[in-house]
Structure 1
Amino acid sequence: MRDFHVHSNYSDGDFLRSMVRAAESAGLEGIGFADHCNVAAREGPELMRGLYGFNLDRTYERRRRGIERLRENFDIEVYDAVEMDYDPRDEAAIDEFLAEAGFDYAIGSVHEVDGKNVQIASHFAELDEAERDAVVDEYFDRLVALVESELFEIAAHADLIERTPPLRGRATTDHYRRVAQAFADSRTVPEINAGRALTDAEIVHPASEFLRVLREHDVSVTVGTDSHHPDEIPARADFLADFADEYGLEPVTASVLDR
């Protein structure tokens, strides 16, 4: 099994070597570092980069040298990847950066709607029912645009709004069918993401109904623990292996992503 979605100290995770050591100890055949990156020039994203230090667009060459050293020292595949914030306004900048950087693969994520992070419940707590539904509609509009952009090999946590109580449970089968059709027509594949699977919330991305619709459309999937710390990798990897067995999934391999 390969884990295509972990983070390192080049965004909001732990040291590269610690993460690789944990993956190797867990029996994984590969680990993919997909650190956060945003290349938007607008004031809001610039402010967030300053606050959180998500500067992989400036540091990826340094990280790449570290990854090359790890490949020499560990008997495990180590992938040089990126997780990019997606906004339709940034497609040209994203395309230019990915072409320049030459990562093994790129993950795209929709984290914001109208400048608000969809994981922060307080952003939506005061909205009425219709306004919350509108946020969900916009989230899936952006997700479809991400897939149709053909910029990314993987789309991360494709129903991220399920993490947020005011937005949870508002996605419909029609939303899922629209996204599934976009995936079916694209090279981009969604991931089975275990980032919240072992928490009290027990959230697996995609939700069971979403996964059913994806399978109905014969959409391939990949897997990612979305780990930020070494001690998260073993249990999340075991969960994903059991999840794949339970649902009869055969996640795509790295060779399929490289196309």
Structure 2
Amino acid sequence: MRFDLHTHHERCGHAVGEVEDYVLAALDQGLDAIGISDHSPFFHSDKEQADPGIAMEKREFPAYVKDVLRLKEKYADRIEVLLGVEADFLPEGVASYRRQLQKYPLDYVIGSVHYTFGRNIFDRDRWKGADDEDLFKVKEAYFDLIAASARSGDYQVLGHIDAIKGFCPEITDIQTNKVENALQTIAEEQVAIEVNTSGKMKACGGWYPSEDILERACFYGVPVTMGSDAHHPRRVGDDLEAVRAKLKDIGFTEWWLFREKKPVSVAL
């Protein structure tokens, strides 16, 4: 079975195309299932749209859900359309997100850490002039948040768990036991991590997470899934077969997709 659980569309403000464009792209790629998982609004904020160009307005979310459910029905005999969302893990916002997201018939929620110490990890400027001590502190805080997101019980998938390397590749070489601790927590909670192929377009030049993290994840029994993190329809399913081959080489025998927040094991 071929699927891609991580895709975006124009509502978030930094992706191209409508939801249906991604469904059609998945059909062109011969996928059996496509997950639509655009960035949720910043539900914890008092603002209607806390960060334009990053996430959709709050009032857009019901329309987003309705749109995906319409396409789920329209294409039911051709491809399985799964309703997902990518939600920021923000400790101060957990209750707000939980309260809002439980209103909708989501198939899965991707929990992603995009912020440490109040700054976006994809902000290139935050890494300028950072020394090893700075990188150590940020990396420890980042993987503490990854572990906390796994413990929250709010997510079926954890997004791009080493995306902190995106525009700071050298942080990969900073050693901390927080990475190992996070993997052990994720395994205990049985939350899936995604192999996210969008990292190859960042300065780090490779998938999230790195192969060594995937090897440790396999050792601990962490479930895996696949997501292109497509922000353009042409990237739907990107590197899917290469991901499948690498996971098999590492020792994984299955990957997961989700229906009604329940895992479905698919043989690799």
Q: Would the TM-score normalized by the shorter structure come out above 0.5?
A: yes
Distance in 1 between residues matched to 2:202 and 2:89, nearest whole Å: 26
Name the residue aligned to 2:158. 155
Does 2:81 align with 1:78?
Answer: yes
Name the residue aligned to 2:257. 253
Match of 1:103 among 103, 106, 113: 106
Local SS of the residue matching 2:26: helix
RMSD over equivalenced CA pairs, Å:
2.4
Does 2:41 align with 1:8?
Answer: no
Distance in 2 between residues matched to 1:251 and 1:192, nearest whole Å: 10
Distance in 2 between residues matched to 1:166 and 1:197, nearest whole Å: 11
Local SS of the residue matching 2:103: helix
Distance in 2 between residues matched to 1:39 and 1:73, nearest whole Å: 29
- Partners of 1:192 and 1:221 within 8 A in 2: yes
- Partners of 1:119 and 1:163 within 8 A in 2: yes
- Partners of 2:32 and 2:80 within 8 A in 1: yes
Distance in 2 between residues matched to 1:238 and 1:72, nearest whole Å: 27
Name the residue aligned to 1:60. 61
* Offset of residue 177 of structure 1: 1.4
Name the residue aligned to 1:197. 200
User: How many positions carry a matched residue from both structures?
Assistant: 256
Name the residue aligned to 1:90. 93
Deviations 1:140-161 (A, max 9, x none): 1111111111111110000111
Q: Which has the higher helix share?
A: 1
Gaps of 5+ in 1: none
* Offset of residue 92 of structure 1: 0.9
Distance 1:171 1:53, change over 3 A: closer
Distance in 1 between residues matched to 2:176 and 2:135, nearest whole Å: 17
Gaps of 5+ in 2: 264-268
Distance 1:62 1:141, change over 3 A: same
Taking the TM superposition and a 5 Å limit, the aligned residue runs for 1:133-144 are 133-144=136-147
* Offset of residue 235 of structure 1: 3.5
Distance in 1 between residues matched to 2:174 and 2:152, nearest whole Å: 22
TM-score by length of 2: 0.86
Distance in 2 between residues matched to 1:214 and 1:192, nearest whole Å: 11
Match of 2:20 among 17, 31, 40: 17
Name the residue aligned to 1:216. 219
TM-score by length of 1: 0.89
Distance in 1 between residues matched to 2:72 and 2:182, nearest whole Å: 36
